[in-house]
Amino acid sequence: MITDYDYGDVEVEREILEAAGAKVIALQAKREEDLFDAAADCAAMMNQYARIGTSVIARMRKCEVIARYGVGVDIVDVAAASDRGILVTNVQDYCTEEVADHAISLWLSLARKLPDYDRATHAGVWRWQSGKPVYRLRGRTMGVVSFGKIGQAIADRARAFGVKVIAFDPFLPASVAAQHGVELVDKAVLLARSDYILMQAPMTPDTRHFLSDAEFAAMKPGAILVNTGRGPTVDNKALYRALTDGHLAAAGLDDPEEEPAKRANWSPADNPIFTLPNVIVTPHAAYYSEESIRAARVTAATQVAKVLTGQRPDYPVNADALAITTH
């Protein structure tokens, strides 16, 4: 059972899963209730944006595996799945380069005031002052929040522009940061020192509104924020206040806090961030390239095929909880 997808079709998944003896049924669920009937008899469930929570998992009688099309599993109740003996898998290492490129693109676009210049020239204004002020990148400080593979790829790119990179990641050994020429600091230091903050944080109970009013007030005046991690890690109402009162210069978001793809109905009117000219918002597209999309689909389907044919998957999330062994 594929809960939802925006790829146009599920032929990639169907080819892999039918070869493993599975029948593929694809839905476009936006609410958990839409999955109740499907949950009862499915042997596996794959999801892109639809949440698979306790109420869905409780109805599963035959399910062996829940597979996420992506790295984050915050929209799967992993603990509930473990309690029912259901394996959860994800897709790793498929979009590191794309997300890092996207984060750097947002940062450079905002730092060099490309949206301002573009609007001005399209309106017939041909003045370098239409983007004023623009500051030199070299010698400034970039703070990266969460320094996993994507954060490391962002730092490696950013150093080419002459910025000093610092990072906050309480789970990372200092030796790993040192290998990338990056100084590990605590949250308060990162906020105080950074001219640019690039967020790559996953969504957990601890990271929800990781940046809110207090954090924005602690940032340097004129700082630029880029978030290519989960949308709800940034409090959008607080960000709106920081941008409109002039404390922050600009923001680039790959997903607003409400994460529109996970909603049945959405309008930009729901979020005042969309009214601001110093904000770039992309539609959760940082991970996208033709190559990465295919890799995500093939890998997610392959995890399911392996489990259903008695093989160990490549990317189990809760194997320790289940003490998974090849059978």
Indicate if 327 belongs to the active site.
no
- Active-site residue identified among 230, 241, 257, 290: 230
Q: What is the pLDDT along the chain (327 residues), one digit of tens a residue?
A: 999 999 999 999 999 999 999 999 999 998 899 999 999 999 999 999 999 999 999 999 999 999 999 998 999 999 999 999 999 999 999 999 999 999 999 999 999 999 999 999 999 999 999 999 999 999 999 999 999 999 999 999 999 999 999 999 999 999 999 999 999 999 999 999 999 999 999 989 899 999 999 999 999 999 999 999 999 999 999 999 999 999 999 999 999 999 999 888 899 999 999 999 999 999 999 999 999 999 999 999 999 999 999 999 999 999 988 875 444
Cβ atoms within 10 Å of 125's Cβ, excluding its own:
11
Indicate if 259 belongs to the active site.
yes
In Å, how far are 168, 179, 202, 250 from 117, measured between CA atoms? 33, 38, 33, 14
Using the Cα atoms of residue 291, residue 295, residue 297 and residue 298 in order, give the sign of their dihedral: positive
> What is the CA angle 167-169-170, rounded to 5?
140
Q: What CA–CA distance (Å, rounded) separates 324 from 312?
A: 8
Domain positions in the chain: 11-94+289-322, 96-281
Report pLDDT for 327: 43
DSSP string, 66-102: EEESSS--TTB-HHHHHHTT-EEE---SSSHHHHHHH
Report pLDDT for 262: 87
Q: Which fold has domain 11-94+289-322?
A: Rossmann fold (3.40.50)
- Active-site residue identified among 51, 68, 284, 297: 284
Q: Hunting for tokens 């999955």 — which residue is that?
A: 35
DSSP string, 250-303: EEEESS-TT-GGG-SS--GGG-GGGG-TTEEE-SS-TT--HHHHHHHHHHHHHH
Instruction: Give the type of residue at 103.
Output: A
Q: What CA–CA distance (Å, rounded) separates 202 from 217?
A: 23
Check: CB of residue 11 under 8 Å from CB of residue 32. no
Indicate if 230 belongs to the active site.
yes
Asked if the domains at 11-94+289-322 and 96-281 fall in one CATH topology, the answer is yes
Report pLDDT for 223: 98
Select from 3.10.28.10, 3.50.50.60, 3.10.110.10, 3.40.50.720 the CATH code of 96-281.
3.40.50.720
Report pLDDT for 125: 98
- Active-site residue identified among 32, 64, 258, 259: 259
Check: CB of residue 293 under 8 Å from CB of residue 7. yes
Q: Edge to edge, what strands does the sheet with 248-253 contain?
A: 183-184, 164-168, 141-145, 196-199, 223-227, 248-253, 279-281
Report pLDDT for 30: 84
Query: 216: which 2 tokens?
Result: 């924005």
Q: How far from chain centre, in Å, is Cα 121?
A: 33
H runs (alpha helix) in the chain: 11-19, 36-41, 54-57, 78-83, 96-111, 114-122, 149-158, 174-179, 187-193, 213-218, 236-244, 290-308, 319-322
